[in-house]
């Protein structure tokens, strides 16, 4: 079932939470709503669920207007950041809840409910917890039960609000891969909210980047990462270095380095800012490289297989962050406090006031 968001606005007192957002979530897709806190992503999700009412705009499920439909009638599965399991009910009762509260004429028989609940508990690999209570489970287990509970009512769409936000890093990584596999199995249209760009890029079919209540970019994880639409998206999706640059006839010049910038064909000597990711900076131990800038190595930190360098060039106050594999770092023989030469190998230039320059 597709979800269509049509010019939705929502404000809380003076704060504009959702600012004229229009989006379509396609059938069977797993979409990440990605953004910093206060970007309106959770509000948008709650509006889709019917837990908030939009000020203006419409919500449609598969073409059918659901804007004024009560949350209990919408057929959405909602997973909360803090699980929101019913504390006084066993795991079995939690998962069965959506079926047992149905009016008598649509309620399945006891045996049918039992079969369905056990099936779902097997799906989330927690059938052995049926008689336990939520407080006896770990965070990851609780969230899987919450998911099973949401799926029990066979929702048309599945909405997840920072589903892994309260879990520790390892469980989080495991659970998001598990969610991806589960989605491939059941194929229900799903939207999940996250502020973690890695999570969004890894799990989803599609990423919608939000900021200040607006959609900044909407595309596949690869598109969004490789071709950020604007400086905000660039900065939000990973670390970035900023260099002063000039664009001239389809090339960008950073110091003596010339990089292709075909989108600026026809521009003459325009000042702009070049965004360069840490792994897009080449580091050398000697000066025999065209256009390489001299810098001092101020800090070396080894993070697992990668080495992160903080460098200071001669003519800039800002630090340059570079990232390279450990074996490459060893081969270069760089040292903290020593000299190095750096050269950007790829950049994305944004001119001032051109938030939407395409690339």
Interface with another protein by CB under 8 A: which residues? Answer: 49-51, 70-78, 80, 82, 84-88, 97-98, 101-102, 133, 135, 146, 149-150, 152-153
Q: 110 or 287: whose CB is closer to another protein? A: 110
Beta carbon of residue 99, minimum distance to another protein (angstroms, whole number): 9
Beta carbon of residue 162, minimum distance to another protein (angstroms, whole number): 12
Interatomic CA distance for residues 135 and 184, integer angstroms: 30
Quote the tokens at residue 1.
């079932």
Beta carbon of residue 45, minimum distance to another protein (angstroms, whole number): 11
CA–centroid distance for 130 within its chain: 32
Beta carbon of residue 197, minimum distance to another protein (angstroms, whole number): 26
Three state DSSP letters for 24-81: EECCCCEEEEECCCCCCHHHHHHHHHCCCCCCEEEEEECCEECCCCCHHHCCEEEECC
Beta carbon of residue 122, minimum distance to another protein (angstroms, whole number): 20
- In three-state secondary structure terms, 264 is helix
Q: 188 or 281: whose CB is closer to another protein? A: 188
Vertex 135 angle, CA 134 and 139, to 5°: 80
Beta carbon of residue 195, minimum distance to another protein (angstroms, whole number): 19
Residue 40 β-bridge partners: none
Quote the tokens at residue 306.
């990668």
Beta carbon of residue 101, minimum distance to another protein (angstroms, whole number): 4
Q: 83 or 225: whose CB is closer to another protein? A: 83
Q: 135 or 170: whose CB is closer to another protein? A: 135
Strands 251-254 and 281-284: unpaired
Q: 133 or 284: whose CB is closer to another protein? A: 133
Beta carbon of residue 83, minimum distance to another protein (angstroms, whole number): 8
Q: 82 or 355: whose CB is closer to another protein? A: 82
Q: 97 or 284: whose CB is closer to another protein? A: 97
Q: 186 or 345: whose CB is closer to another protein? A: 186
Strand order in the sheet with 214-219: 76-79, 157-161, 189-194, 30-34, 206-211, 214-219
Contact between 12 and 206 (Cβ < 8 Å): no
Determine what percent of the chain falls in helix, strand and coil, rounding each to the nearest 5.
30, 35, 35
Nearest Cα to 53, choosing from 4, 98, 24, 12?
12
Helices (H), 285-349: 326-332
Give how far Cα 34 sits from Cα of 16, 31, 37, 161, Å. 17, 9, 10, 11
């Amino acid at each position: 079932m597709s979800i269509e968001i049509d010019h939705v606005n929502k404000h809380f007192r003076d704060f504009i939470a959702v600012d004229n957002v229009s989006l379509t979530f396609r059938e069977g897709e797993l979409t990440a709503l990605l953004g910093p806190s206060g970007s309106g992503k959770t509000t948008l999700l709650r509006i889709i669920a019917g837990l908030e009412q939009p000020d203006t705009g419409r919500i449609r499920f598969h073409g059918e207007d659901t804007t004024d439909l009560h949350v209990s009638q919408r057929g959405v599965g909602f997973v909360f950041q803090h699980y929101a399991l019913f504390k006084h009910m066993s795991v079995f009762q939690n998962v069965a809840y959506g079926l047992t509260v149905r009016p008598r004429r649509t309620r399945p028989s006891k045996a049918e409910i039992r079969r369905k609940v056990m099936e779902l508990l097997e799906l989330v690999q927690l059938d052995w917890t049926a008689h336990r209570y939520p407080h006896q489970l770990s965070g990851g287990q609780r969230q899987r039960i919450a998911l099973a509970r949401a799926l029990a009512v066979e929702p048309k769409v599945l909405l997840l609000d920072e589903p892994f936000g309260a879990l520790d890093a390892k469980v989080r990584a495991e659970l998001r891969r598990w969610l991806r596999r589960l989605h491939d199995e059941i194929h229900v249209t799903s939207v999940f909210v996250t502020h973690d760009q890695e999570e969004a890029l890894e799990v989803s079919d599609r990423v919608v980047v939000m900021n200040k209540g607006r959609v900044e970019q909407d595309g596949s994880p690869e598109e969004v990462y490789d071709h950020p639409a604007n400086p905000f998206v660039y900065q939000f999706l990973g670390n970035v270095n900023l260099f002063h640059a000039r664009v001239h006839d389809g090339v960008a010049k950073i110091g003596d380095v010339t990089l292709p910038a075909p989108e600026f064909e026809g521009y003459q000597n325009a000042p702009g800012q070049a965004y360069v990711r840490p792994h897009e900076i080449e580091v050398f131990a000697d000066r025999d490289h065209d256009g390489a800038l001299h810098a001092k190595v101020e800090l070396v930190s080894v993070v697992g297989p990668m080495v992160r360098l903080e460098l200071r060039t001669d003519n800039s106050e800002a630090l340059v962050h570079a990232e390279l594999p450990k074996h490459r770092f060893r081969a270069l023989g760089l040292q903290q406090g020593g000299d190095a030469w750096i050269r950007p190998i790829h950049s994305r230039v944004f001119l001032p006031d051109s938030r939407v320059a395409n690339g």
